[in-house]
């Protein structure tokens, strides 16, 4: 149990509370420590104060709108770095660009492209992207899935899975074709729920 | 507190494709998936958009080289965040030793767009500028990126109690910054 002067332990407890990782026992221990230690009470603050400070971090994260454009940035010469490094970066970008085309010509995608409709192609791409990229890790949390969609750049789906492996899907950046988007959503969810 | 989700390790599902094509496809999807998240994290760490773009490019370049050497190598989001954290910390250290740039991490307000110059954003950046890099990393990897303290501990090679303690210390600085503003 915590003694009156165990301020180091109080710091880790405050951190756990801040990250929403503390259970009720730990919260009680923290409250008990604050009741006896004026220094921690003013330095660390109660649970309400901790929540307020952490809300600032979440607020900053949610307000962020900056969309860095890495490819464009990498084409600019930089005096700070030696020339070979710049060349290597440009080469890498070129290889990546070739990679996208190579991926589009990938056997599996190509077969679909020959015989399939635009919807089938999009579904195949969504499923391939789902397999290589991402899936909701925690229940009740949304996960975004980005994949290349023919003719319309990239499409982003927000997938959401509940405890019974039943999902919801929202198109965050629509390709403009609602029928296509819905089909892709359903296919993505089907793939996802068979895996869980 | 709501945390953003962190993505699982990626799996290979390109059966029968040439190794080089797999490497390129995986590198491409890594860039698509993480360039924004990772560069935003880096900008918070170093407080400068240009530097963040440079460092992020370095991280993806080394990821690409690794995939080129071994296309089936497991490459996780954690690997990217660890590489980014190391890059940011060594940048901040280098900056301090060489004194080529101002010593303190100034917030380059010019490069932060109006819509993200919210009170929360400015307060957070003000606090991050004062914090030792290890504390900034602990705070950002958990509450900003979405890792648990145990996951962040694994990334930074420490214990989850140490992460919680760093978060607590970072929080104290942030609290001071917030009370100065109001």
Tell me the pLDDT tens digit for each residue of B42-54. 999 998 888 898 8
Same domain, A45 and A96: no
| ipTM (interface predicted TM) | 0.81
Alpha-carbon distance B76 to B112, whole Å? 29
Same domain, A146 and A87: no
Burial class (CB in 10 A: 0-12, 13-18, 19+), A191: middle
Same domain, A24 and A56: yes
* Alpha-carbon gap: A56 to the closest alpha carbon of chain B (Å): 5
Same domain, A72 and A129: no
Cβ(A160)–Cβ(A188) below 8 Å: no
Q: Per-residue pLDDT tens for B81-120?
A: 999 999 999 999 887 655 444 444 445 545 565 555 678 8
pLDDT, greater one: A2 or B178: B178
Please give the torsion angle defined by the CA atoms of residues A9, A14, A19 and A20, in that order, rounded to the nearest 10 degrees.
Answer: 100
Q: From the list B16, B39, B40, which residue is nearest A107 (CB)? A: B16
Q: From the list A50, A78, A88, which residue is nearest B171 (CB)? A: A50
Q: Which two tokens mark A104?
A: 């589009």
User: Does residue B79 form part of some domain?
Assistant: yes
Whether A128 shows a pLDDT value over 90: the answer reads no
| Angle between the N-to-C axes of helices B77-98 and B19-46, in degrees from 0 to 180, rounded to the nearest 10 | 50
Whether A146 shows a pLDDT value over 80: the answer reads no
User: Does residue B14 form part of some domain?
Assistant: no
Based on its alpha-carbon atoms, the radius of gyration of chain B, rounded to whole angstroms, reads: 17
Number of domain units in chain B:
1
User: Does residue A2 form part of some domain?
Assistant: no
Confidence tier at A150 by pLDDT (50, 70, 90): low
pTM of the model: 0.61
Alpha-carbon distance A139 to B145, whole Å? 17
CATH number at residue B117: 1.20.140.160
User: Does residue A1 form part of some domain?
Assistant: no
Number of domain units in chain A:
3
Percent of chain B whose pLDDT exceeds 90: 42
Confidence tier at A138 by pLDDT (50, 70, 90): very low
Longest distance between any two alpha carbons in chain A, whole Å: 74
* Mean pLDDT value of segment A165-174: 64
Task: Give the CA angle between residues B163, B136, B95 to the nearest 5°.
Answer: 130
Same domain, A83 and A118: no
Same domain, A133 and A172: yes
Give every CB contact of residue A40 below 8 A, 6+ residues apart in sequence: A7, A10, A33, A34
| Residue listed under structure tokens 């400068």 | B48
Range of the domain at A97: 67-105
Range of the domain at B169: 19-181
Where helices occur in B47-159 by DSSP H, the ranges are 49-69, 77-98, 119-130, 133-139, 149-156
For chain B, the distance separating the N- and C-terminal CA atoms, rounded to the nearest angstrom, is 23
Q: Closest residue of A to B166, CA-based?
A: A15
Residues of chain A contacting B39 with CB distance shorter than 8 Å = 68, 70
Q: Per-residue pLDDT tens for B144-173?
A: 999 999 999 999 999 999 999 999 999 999
Cβ(B123)–Cβ(B107) below 8 Å: no
A66/B175 touch (CB, cutoff 8 Å), yes or no: no
User: Does residue B110 form part of some domain?
Assistant: yes
């Amino acid at each position: 149990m915590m003694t009156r002067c165990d301020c180091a332990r109080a710091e880790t407890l405050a951190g756990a509370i801040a990250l929403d990782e503390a259970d009720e026992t730990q919260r009680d221990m923290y409250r008990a420590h604050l009741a006896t230690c004026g220094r921690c009470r003013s330095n660390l603050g109660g649970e309400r104060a901790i929540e307020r400070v952490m809300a600032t971090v979440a607020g900053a994260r949610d307000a962020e709108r900056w969309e860095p454009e890495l490819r464009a940035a990498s084409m600019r010469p930089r005096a700070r770095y030696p020339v070979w490094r710049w060349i290597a970066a440009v080469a890498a970008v070129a290889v990546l660009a070739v990679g996208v085309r190579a991926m589009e010509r990938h056997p599996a995608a190509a077969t679909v492209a020959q015989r399939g409709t635009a919807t089938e192609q999009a579904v195949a791409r969504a499923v391939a992207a789902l397999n290589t990229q991402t899936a909701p890790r925690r229940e009740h949390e949304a996960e975004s899935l980005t994949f290349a969609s023919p003719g319309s750049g990239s499409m982003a789906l927000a997938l959401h899975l509940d405890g019974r492996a039943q999902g919801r899907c929202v198109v965050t950046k629509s390709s403009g074709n609602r029928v296509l988007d819905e089909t892709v959503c359903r296919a993505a969810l089907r793939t996802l729920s068979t895996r869980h | 507190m709501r945390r953003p989700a962190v993505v699982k390790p990626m799996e290979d599902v390109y059966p029968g494709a040439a190794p080089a094509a797999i490497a390129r496809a995986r590198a491409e999807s890594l860039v698509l998936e993480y360039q924004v998240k990772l560069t935003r994290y880096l900008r918070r760490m170093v407080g400068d958009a240009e530097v963040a773009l440079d460092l992020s490019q370095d991280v993806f370049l080394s990821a690409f080289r690794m995939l080129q050497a071994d296309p089936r190598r497991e490459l996780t989001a954690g690997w990217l965040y660890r590489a980014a954290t190391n890059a940011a910390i060594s940048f901040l250290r280098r900056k301090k030793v060489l004194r080529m740039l101002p010593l303190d991490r100034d917030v380059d307000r010019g490069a932060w767009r109006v819509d993200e110059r919210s009170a929360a954003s400015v307060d957070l950046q003000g606090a991050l500028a004062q914090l030792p890099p290890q504390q900034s990393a602990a705070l950002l990897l958990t509450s900003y990126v979405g890792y648990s303290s145990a996951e962040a501990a694994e990334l930074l090679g420490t214990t989850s109690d140490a992460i919680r303690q760093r978060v607590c210390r970072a929080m104290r600085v942030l609290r001071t910054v917030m009370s100065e503003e109001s």
